[in-house]
Amino acid sequence: MTPSGKLTDRTVEVDLGGRLVTVPEGGLYDRFRMNTDLDEVARDPRVGSVDFFRRMPKTRVDSRIGPTLTPNFYYRISTTRLTMLAPTKAIRGRLPQELDPLEVAPGLGIVSVMAFRYDVCDIDFYTEAAVGIAVKPARHSRGLGLLDLVTGLKNDSLHSYVLSLPVNTEIAQVRGHDGYGFPKWVTRLDVDIDTECTSARVANDQGGLDLALSAPTPKQTARPTGEHVSTLTSYTTIDGAWHATTSQINMLSAGTTRFPRGLDLRLGEGRMSQDLRSLKPIRTIQLDVTTEGQLALHMPVPTSVQDRS
């Protein structure tokens, strides 16, 4: 750390389940190894409050990345999500047979493009993007599709299967891929979100364009901490067994636009654009942007999923 409290460009190596990754020297992970001092985080001018995390004790668990503490705390985040309609036939072609797509009408499901900026978190700053499919809850995937859809679109609860999830740091890639079972890789990934404009650009392996989006930011509504906490459940397989990963998002300033105008979504050549094209999206129906939020990401736990083989 410099005298001003800013990180230097120096890095250190840390061991995650036998894999060495670099992290910023003097960063939160280097100093605290997930057991971050909340009082110190509260002094960061980018973080409005840590009250959401004080009521959520961490637990030490064994995992494929070695012993770790869960949840992973994200103290200042911003996110965007494009929700699109796509043919169920195309969606089923990309889903494992154990999962059912969430449908808005017979033959019509929901897919998303998402981007995330994590300014302050236990594993330091990083960015992330995703192509995902909305699915019915695995434990009762044949029932209550319309109810699941309504609650999901209200940002209260959503279940998903992720096709691609690039990140821009090594520690995020190893933890996400080895520890959570997500399809993560490292690439150049820029995400900028403020009250005026939302943008993201993902580079492909050659440094060209994989996927990019930009849009005017919807009008934001501020809420006290803890007033609106949404939940995202993502399904992955780890060592051949199904697991569910829960994310709790404390939404402090967020907004939504239906059928957004001024949206620019560009597909290039890369894994994200290939995944999105394979889903054959028809129309963007909603843009959600959170300019300020917080996140508790829990380690995956085994879950029961119907076997339809």
What pLDDT, on a 0 to 100 scale, did the predictor assign at position 176?
97
User: Span 232-253, mean pLDDT?
Assistant: 96
The reported pLDDT for the residue numbered 29 is 97
Whether pLDDT at 3 is above 60 = no
Name the residue type at position 200: A
Q: Is the pLDDT of residue 77 over 90?
A: yes
- pLDDT, averaged across the chain: 92
pLDDT band for position 305 (cuts 50, 70, 90) = confident
Mean pLDDT of 59-82: 96
Q: Tens digit of pLDDT for each residue in 4-35?
A: 345 568 999 999 989 999 999 999 999 999 99
pTM across the whole model: 0.93
Q: For the chain, give the percent of residues with pLDDT over 90.
A: 87
Over residues 90-107, the pLDDT tens digits come to: 999 999 999 999 999 999
What tens digit of pLDDT does each residue of 173-186 get? Answer: 999 999 999 999 99
Q: And the tokens for 107?
A: 């033959």
pLDDT band at 240 (very low <50, low <70, confident <90, very high): very high
